[in-house]
Amino acid sequence: MEEGNELIVRDWLAIERTKLANERTFLAYFRTAIVLFGTGMGIIKIELFSELEAFGIALSIMAPIIMAVGVVRLFHVKSVIKKHYKV
């Protein structure tokens, strides 16, 4: 935004909605990672699923990767918002 242009209330509200959407997206990544990790651990621990143990390990490995992607995306979008709108 140029220095001569002041943000009006509508613009501030749009920025706040964007920030909240970014946080909701992070929480979706977080929720997905928790479910994958819990499912992976459940498959590993229950002896009934012993032939699926490799799948459980794969799910448990994917969970922190998805969490890391969510954290990186959260901070990247946050910095883009700050840079673009200078807030």
pLDDT digits (tens, 9 = 90+) for 17-55: 999 999 999 999 999 999 999 999 999 999 998 899 999
Q: Where are the domains of the chain?
A: 9-85
How many CB atoms within 10 Å of residue 54? 10
Structure tokens at 80: 């883009």
Give the Cα separation of 10 and 26 in Å (integer): 25
Of residues 22 and 84, more confidently modeled: 22
